[in-house]
């Protein structure tokens, strides 16, 4: 092939590649800019994102980190009201919500949203009654038992796929997530899949320490992230947000912010 033909071919490839890249993100009108970020998160996920009884104030690790980063970016934040988890995801996908404060990483979410660097790791474990005759030693031992898990919660691709294929897990939409722990304590289920900190908080709240125990092996290990809607003009802030988040991680400030958020939540209980 001649040099001229090579040049033409390279130019065509570049044009096609550039066009494909530009089409990968929605185009927003010039007058549609991100002047304020609509943020929301779970109302019941300790210490990630939660609202205390009778309060609409969103607290926790992720709301605190988001407010700090957007403050550094000089962008105001509007925190939405209490919504079911499934509703928040619909709003995010449709661009009615700009940023979801705290979610596990899954292949589907990676496809639908812009995902931040990991903010923290969270381990999901198995809670059982202490009087259970034979304690499960692995996920395989949960097969055939009656399980519970929070409605709408994902515990990572590997666990979700295994649970879908092998396990019997009820996921009911309770206003109070502690209801799952209460059902377990009343012998209406054999086990509960829940994050370590949230599960232990429930046990303390229900005063069920003599009844419930956590098994000493993880059901899954997951990282937690911010999710930006690709259908919102505020997705233009994603790179700057993620850069600021990485600065917090590298400086050690993020670790201190996580500890401070958990401490503040514990003191308020």
pLDDT at 20: 42
How far apart, in whole angstroms, are the C-alpha atoms of residue 104 and residue 221?
A: 10
**In this predicted model, what pLDDT tens digit does every residue of 54-80 receive, in sequence order?**
788 999 999 999 999 999 999 999 999
User: Which residues lie across from 199 on neighbouring strands?
Assistant: none
- Alpha helix (H) residue ranges in the chain: 3-23, 61-72, 85-93, 107-112, 157-166, 178-185, 196-206, 238-251, 253-268
Q: What is the dihedral of CA 58, 94, 172, 166, to 10 degrees?
A: -120
77-79 and 37-40 as β-strands: parallel, antiparallel, unpaired? parallel
Q: Is the omega angle on the peptide bond into residue 181 within 30 degrees of 0, that is, cis?
A: no
3-state secondary structure of 44: strand
The average pLDDT across 102-109 equals 90
Q: Cα torsion for 137, 138, 144, 147, to the nearest 10°?
A: 100
User: Pairing between strand 120-129 and 212-229?
Assistant: antiparallel
Q: Average of pLDDT values for 8-22? A: 42
pLDDT digits (tens, 9 = 90+) for 169-224: 999 887 677 899 999 999 999 999 999 988 998 999 899 999 999 999 999 988 99
Residues in the chain: 269
In order of their start, the domains of the chain are 29-120+223-268 (3.40.190.10), 122-222 (3.40.190.10)
């Amino acid at each position: 092939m001649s040099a001229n033909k090579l040049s033409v071919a390279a130019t065509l490839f570049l044009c096609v590649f550039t066009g494909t890249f530009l089409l990968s993100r929605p185009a927003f009108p010039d007058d549609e800019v991100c002047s304020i970020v609509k943020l929301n998160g779970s109302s019941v996920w300790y210490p990630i994102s939660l609202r205390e009884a009778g309060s609409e104030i969103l607290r926790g690790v992720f709301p605190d980190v988001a407010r700090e980063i957007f403050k550094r970016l000089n962008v105001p934040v509007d925190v939405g009201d209490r919504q079911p988890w499934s509703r928040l995801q619909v709003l995010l996908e449709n661009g009615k919500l700009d940023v979801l404060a705290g979610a596990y990483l899954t292949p589907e979410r990676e496809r639908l949203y812009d995902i931040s660097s990991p903010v923290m790791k969270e381990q999901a474990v198995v809670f059982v009654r202490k009087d259970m005759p034979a304690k499960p030693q692995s996920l395989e031992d949960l097969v055939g038992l009656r399980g519970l898990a929070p409605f709408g919660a994902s515990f990572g691709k590997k666990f979700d796929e295994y649970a879908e294929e092998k396990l019997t897990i009820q996921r009911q939409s309770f206003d109070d997530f502690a209801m799952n722990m209460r059902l377990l304590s009343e012998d209406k289920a054999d086990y509960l899949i829940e994050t370590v900190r949230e599960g232990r908080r429930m046990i303390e709240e229900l005063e069920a320490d003599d009844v419930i125990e956590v098994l000493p092996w993880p059901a899954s290990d997951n990282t937690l992230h911010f999710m930006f809607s690709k259908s919102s003009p505020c997705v233009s802030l994603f790179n700057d947000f993620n850069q600021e988040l990485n600065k917090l991680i590298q400086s050690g400030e993020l670790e201190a912010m996580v500890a401070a958020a958990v401490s503040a939540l514990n003191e308020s209980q």
